[in-house]
Chains A and B, each alone.
Chain A
Amino acid sequence: MVAASATAALAAVPSAAGAAPAGTDKPVLAKVGFTVNGERRELELDTRTSLLDAVREHLHLTGAKKGCDHGQCGACTMIVDGRRINSCLTLAVMHQDASVMTIEGLGKPGDLHPMQAAFVKHDGYQCGFCTPGQICSSVAVIAEIKSGIPSHVSADLNGTYEVTDAEIRERMSGNICRCGAYSNIVEAITEVAGKQA
């Protein structure tokens, strides 16, 4: 209900006219290099390739999910140069020399990041499909609050902010969970934020 993400036109894709290049054009390829979870990666990509598809289809890091492919669901959330973004809404070639963090970079089974462990403990998921995006967003949200970035529910644009339920709910509203684990996710984030304070 809260439009926290960018929206896209209600076009009948992919048959919408004008979405494609002329039929005989060869794809334009470009080289791009960035680090993913600390590892330098060099790719030569069709310039139309989103960061999400570059990571999923070319690097086979499939933790980030394609839930809508146009910035409405948050399942593809990655942390790029310290900020969370919808990786489906950005082209890979725009990220030369960027530092990309995906869910795989946060922790692994047996060596979970505190936020991953808190999601397990509080059952902050059900089907698990939105979970990588929720967790990447959660980690970034705590950092945003601590670094003094205000949100729609912040009373003062120049204040300092606490990790309250209202701040968490507002800032996490770009990550949809259709299974409805919100109440548990807020508990997981609150616990991690409390431990870090």
Chain B
Amino acid sequence: MKFDTPAGTNPIDRLKVVGKATDRIDGPFKTTGTAPYANDWHDPQAKLAYGVVVGATIAKGRIASMDLGAAKAAPGVVAIVTADNAGKLGKGKLNTAKLLGGPEIEHYHQAVAVVVAETFEQARAAAALVKVKYTATEGAFDLASVKDGAKDPGDVQGSPSSSSVGDFAGAFASAPVKLDESYETPDHAHAMMEPHASVASWDGDKVTVWTSNQMIAWGTRDLALTLDVPQEKVRMVSPFIGGGFGGKLFLRSEALLAALGARAAGRAVKVALTRPQMFNNTTHRPATLQRIRIGATPDGKITAIGHESWSGDLPEGGPEAAVLQTRLLYAAPNRMTALRLVVLDLPEGNAMRAPGEAPGLMALEVAMDEMAEKLGIDPVRFREINDTQVDPEKPERAFSQRSLVACLRQGAERFGWDKRGKPGQVRDGRWLVGMGMASAFRNNMVLKSAARVRLDGKGMVIVETDMTDIGNGSYTIIGQTAAEMMGVTLDKVIVRLGDSDFPVSSGSGGQFGANSSTSGVYAACMKLREAVAGKLGFNSADAVFEDGQVRSGNRNVPLAQAATGGDIVAEDAIEFGDLDKTHQQSTFGGHFVEVGVDVATAEIRVRRMLAVCASGRILNPKSARSQVIGGMTMGVGAALMEELAVDTKRGYFVNHDLAGYEVPVHADIPHQEVIFLDEVDPMSSPMKAKGVGELGICGVGAAVANAVYNATGLRVRDYPITLDKLLNRMPDAA
């Protein structure tokens, strides 16, 4: 089904199942430990072997020699695979560094071997006996020190890395009120709870990998490319994914090494990265250095806005696109943005939840707060003054929907924004209390997505698509979509996901999954409705699917009756035309945060959080709300604690586990409130929905930072805002 004209009224608009705050249909499995994650898989008929990965202990250079003797002789060892004996290996399209290094080493903890043994304990012990000698070479590890050599990275996400409208330099120079500030965001780790894990098993020349991957079709393609086998020889199964956040968008080393280990061992092999390997072996969100310039008239009209960002990656890698939102978020006649890239020999940088916008808004929305203060205008009002309903670079291109101002106004009212005091002036016992806000913004991407639906003789509707559920609620919203389309209750729908034998979906990422994959299910259900109507002798245009019946005129037939002679199967994909080009499709929100800062210790505690979101139709308010609070929680982490500490001599992330890389825990997070504006976007898809999974993290870090400023009167421009950056400047505790 081609979606190239705005959606009219369709069966989803009935909202009997879609749009309801329904409990997740996979909930009873997740809460009882019966949902099968990658590493839970075992074959009752055959004994697994266990693989443990050996990681490089230099950041750049070559393997001089490898001594596998002791490891091979260790008890229980079945096989050891290295680049020397793995056979010819290619590289996945979406991998920057090789997943099995050697002799060249491209980053610290790049895998150099997998040791396979009868038991996990034996494999772990033997892996520690692998002796590798390296010849290290010099690398670049410190972004700030190589920033001046940054290059233009060329096109980024399909558009030039620099943008320019009007005369930015002239307008900024002559602006009556100016801000020119620099901001830093550190490297971030996805730190999803489930380590990268795979079990691989060969049957002849075909390999099946039970894995944890957000994008099944990318994963099978890249594993086939890397193993140098045809893609049809690779099957991936990933029904449950213990968190991804972008870290499982790509084929990673454990899947490749499970496949290679299983081939060498001649039986199924299970490989999981250890927690301390994850931070340097896999991808991360790259650090940024950002410069923002804003010029405005005294009444708060922005006349010039400029945003530049520098980041680093391995050779052939890309930049963190931290300036892209600045091209769309606020009106101004004169504008410029630029992304610059340096080569860093740290582990591979790549997408993490809201790549670009998450770190970009951490800077831009603090700059907006600073500028509002310079102007003496309330930060909410300042954003309202500079709202735009069209793409500021191409005014002929309108936003399909843009309710930013409504989000901010409603949020301000709900949060009690009018009670915000002057910086450093509000006390509650030992706490200095402050409020901060920020705009939330994230583009709505749409991707082709296919599904297969089957009606059986019992009236059950079975949906199959390689879409993944990474916690985003895919099982439930896909079930709701099929139930709505076929006129049945949710308990009559069975949803099967995450298997490369199923039609190729959008996958989960970039907050495109919910809208795209349910639209694919919509398309397949439209075909199934036609087939059912035809079978029952109805004109499909007149047939109404409702209450488990198919009705046309005064004739009423149970849906199941259509399949009495055999299952009816339909398959289709949604393919998107150019509505996302003719109109700018984005999602919007407002974040409001209250913090307390201890007057004596500068300890920062988040006290209240509210997000108001405008994201098109909300398919399931319960799971969508969870996506938003999850983003808000990760944003608190980015604001207050998350930072991969770079060893700029040895070139690796030092704090590579969950004790060193701190993420928010229960005690860090207060009650969180989320409001969704009642909105539908017919430009987006037949579902009229948009993404929401990443909107929650966008801007929230800046809202926390702005609240800390309001509490203390101290501005911190290098994240995370830890107490040591406040302590010696704190206002008198008297």
Contacts and interface: CB of A to CB of B under 8 A. Distances in A.
Interface in B253-277: 272, 274-277
B276 A109 contact: no
Contact of B23 (A104, A121, A127): A121
A2 interface: yes
A170 B605 CA distance: 13
B272 A184 contact: no
A179 B658 contact: no
B147 to A, nearest CB: 28
Contacts, number: 269
A62 B665 contact: no
A26 B121 CA distance: 12
Contacts of A131: 30-31
Interface in A150-180: 165, 168-170, 172-180
Contacts of B130: 15
A135 B668 CA distance: 19
Given A15-B55, A116-B31, A116-B32, A127 B193 contact: yes
Interface stretch (B71-79, B393-401, B444-452, B497-505): B71-79
Task: Name B's interface SS.
Answer: loop
Interface in B108-138: 109, 119-122, 124-130
Contact of B193 (A65, A104, A106): A65
B667 A127 contact: no
B276 A130 contact: no
Contacts of B119: 27, 46, 49, 57
Contacts of A107: 31-32
Contacts of B274: 13-14, 69
A39 to B, nearest CB: 15
Interface string B588-607: 00000000000000000000
Contacts of B2: none
Contact of A24 (B74, B640, B672): B74
A123 B24 contact: yes
A126 B630 contact: yes
Contacts of A185: 666
B716 interface: no
Interface residues of B, number: 92
Nearest to B640: A1
Contacts of B31: 103, 107, 112, 116-117, 119-120, 125, 128, 131-132, 135
A23 interface: yes
Contacts of B55: 12, 15
A38 interface: no
Interface centre among A13, A49, A169 (most CB of B within 10 A): A13
Contact of B629 (A4, A104, A184): A184
Given A15-B57, A63-B34, A120 B640 contact: no
Contacts of B622: 123
B125 A19 contact: yes
B32 A106 contact: yes
B37 A179 contact: no
B20 to A, nearest CB: 13
B632 interface: yes
Interface of B: 23-24, 26-37, 39-40, 42, 52, 54-55, 57, 70-71, 73-76, 109, 119-122, 124-130, 190-195, 240-245, 272, 274-277, 469-473, 622-623, 625-627, 629-634, 640-641, 654-660, 662-672
